[in-house]
Amino acid sequence: MKQPSFKYLLSLLIFITGVATMLFLAFLLQQKDGPLTSGHKLSLGAGFLLVLINTGLAFFFSRRMEKKYQEQALQNRQLFQENPTPMWVFDKDSLAFVAVNEAAVQQYGYSKEEFLQMSILDIRPPEDKQKVRDNVSDAPQGYYSTGIWRHLRKDGTFIHVKISSHGIIFRNRPSEIILVYDVSQQVRYEEEREELLNSLLHQNHQLEEFANIVSHQLRAPVANLLGLAQLFKISSPEEVSEIIQKINLSAQRLDRSIKEVALLIEKRKDLSAPKEEVELEEVLQQSSYYLEHQIQRSGASITHDFRALPILCSVRTYVQDIINNLLTNAIKYRDPEKKVKIRLRSFRKDKRAYISIQDNGLGLDLEKYGEAIGKPFTRFHFHVPGSGIGLSLVKTQLELLEGDIRFRSSPGEGMEVVLSFPL
């Protein structure tokens, strides 16, 4: 049943009060002076007329007020429902949605009916729910901003939002009205900016380190050549032949160092080769063919188990280079007292692909040398020739593949190298 309008109730109250006042006044006059005189009747008639006028005025002004209130309420509803910013109202005790606008429906994918069957916890990830409860219970009076949160849409995707809130009374219940600003693009921009900055800092650090190492690597043959050139000026004819031979050796060493530096620079270029499905068993066969002489001479036994991950989606040439380098190291730094055994296996873990290469060679003291592994021109065993760039090339190629490398080793116990790749 529709309740009476405010204007009718107010007008009726004024009319009844006025009429009752006039009747009571007439009663008092009769009690005091007896039957009403014509003057009394005239005054009372004027009073009744004034009551009618006041009732009419009250009806007129209350109608105007009610109309203005209805227009304001309609504007408020339109501002809420048609606002391009997602908005809702929730009950502070139950946290249930009690009103939601069309922009929120479009943003989150739920219908209004679905929203009204949910609470604000239903659009939050599990790890944020307690923080939401605490935030609501500690909310100050009036307007406040709750910062940036993650919200869950109906399709399962997350968005980052900035929330502004204000406490209100809605349907006689303590509630909060919420404005939601989607800041996902800004958050992504900040994350990409932070990632780019970290990448630039990392590359700058690598460049400084690389420059220092290259400078050190080239300084020795250049200094040697300069010294020999000075000796050449003051040498006797009998010494010239020997000095020329030494100059030739220093020049060869300088040429080799420059080529190694050029190779490192080439491998540090951006990854441009396309990714493809790489069969690990085929890669191992190619490496065995490439290292056939070293394998036969060392008597190395190479076994593998690629059943858990037979195929890797990556850049074939880089994967081949990495396996070649690591197998070369495993053979080169073998323990002369043991038969060389090398085992390769692949597996998946935590949405990553892994390749393990384990040998029974000389091993390495990681506590002592762990920080230096993979730096250009760094060597740890000097009983065999080498340039010290093999592991540096491996690390560079893995970085370009968004991969990683880990070492497990101890002196005399061999080494395990674990490669990590994105799936």
Average pLDDT across the chain, whole number: 80
The per-residue pLDDT for 304 is 94
Residue 338 has pLDDT above 80, yes or no: yes
DSSP string, 305-374: E-SS--EEEE-HHHHHHHHHHHHHHHHHT--TTS--EEEEEEEEETTEEEEEEEE-S----HHHHGGGTT
Query: What is the average pLDDT across 241-256?
Result: 71
Residue 210 has pLDDT above 90, yes or no: no
Record the pTM.
Answer: 0.47
The per-residue pLDDT for 245 is 76
Q: What distance in Å separates the CA atoms of residue 42 and residue 355, rounded to the nearest whole number? A: 112
The per-residue pLDDT for 79 is 72
Coil, helix or strand for 238?
helix
Tell me the two tokens of residue 104: 């929120």
Task: Indicate the pLDDT class of residue 7, thresholds 50, 70 and 90.
Answer: low
The per-residue pLDDT for 343 is 95
Query: What is the average pLDDT across 30-47?
Result: 72
| 405 backbone dihedrals φ, ψ, rounded to 5° | -140, 140
Burial (CB count within 10 angstroms: exposed 0-12, middle 13-18, buried 19+), residue 75: exposed
Q: Residue 381 corresponds to which amino acid?
A: H
The per-residue pLDDT for 400 is 80
Residue 36 has pLDDT above 90, yes or no: no
Q: Residue 247 corresponds to which amino acid?
A: I
The per-residue pLDDT for 48 is 74
How do residues 99-122 score in pLDDT, each as one tens digit? Answer: 999 999 999 999 999 999 999 999
